[in-house]
């Protein structure tokens, strides 16, 4: 019923799913990048808008990054540590996006259009 309704309004289910996967990827990518940028500046932001962005970035990125951080310690280079968890998370997100788009294109698009 839902598929027929979507197709009646000229929507392709596979294109809709591809759009959702792509949109979710870029949203998570942006939150992880924002989390990286906020980690470069220690301390809580004084501006109310930046506080909201900081809290949102941490709320979305930390559940993704914390399991990776708990298993892979920071890389010690000289006097500082390099956190590899954002790089691994972004690589994992990219792989997940490619896998999902391939599955949608190969298995869902031929069935529902």
> pLDDT, tens digit, for every residue of 53-99?
889 999 999 999 999 999 998 888 888 888 899 999 999 999 999 99
Give the predicted TM-score (pTM) of the model.
Answer: 0.84
Alpha-carbon span 89 to 95, nearest angstrom: 10
Residue 11 confidence (pLDDT) above 80: no
**How high is the pLDDT of residue 113?**
67
pLDDT of residue 2 exceeding 80: no
- Domains contained in the chain, number: 1
Q: Write out the residue range of the structural domain in which residue 7 sits.
A: 2-112
| Alpha carbon 37 to its chain's center | 15
Q: 81 by DSSP, 3-state: which?
A: strand
pLDDT at position 109 is 86
pLDDT at 22: 95
| Average of per-residue pLDDT across 14-33 | 94
| pLDDT value at 101 more than 90 | yes
pLDDT for 1 equals 58
Report yes or no: 84 and 72 within 8 Å, Cβ to Cβ: yes
pLDDT score of 39 more than 90? no
- The pLDDT of residue 111 is 86
Quick one: average pLDDT of 14-38?
93
Measured distance CA(89)–CA(11) in Å, rounded: 32
């Amino acid at each position: 019923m839902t598929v027929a309704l979507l197709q009646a309004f000229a929507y392709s289910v596979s294109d809709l799913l591809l759009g959702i996967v792509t949109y979710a990827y870029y949203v998570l990518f942006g939150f992880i990048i924002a989390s990286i940028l906020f980690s470069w500046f220690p301390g809580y932001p004084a501006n109310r808008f930046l506080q909201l962005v900081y809290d949102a970035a941490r709320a979305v990125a930390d559940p993704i990054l914390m399991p990776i951080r708990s298993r892979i310690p920071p890389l010690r280079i000289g006097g500082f540590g390099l956190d590899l968890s954002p790089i691994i998370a972004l690589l994992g997100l990219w792989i997940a996006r490619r896998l999902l788009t391939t599955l949608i294109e190969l298995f869902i698009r031929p069935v529902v259009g």
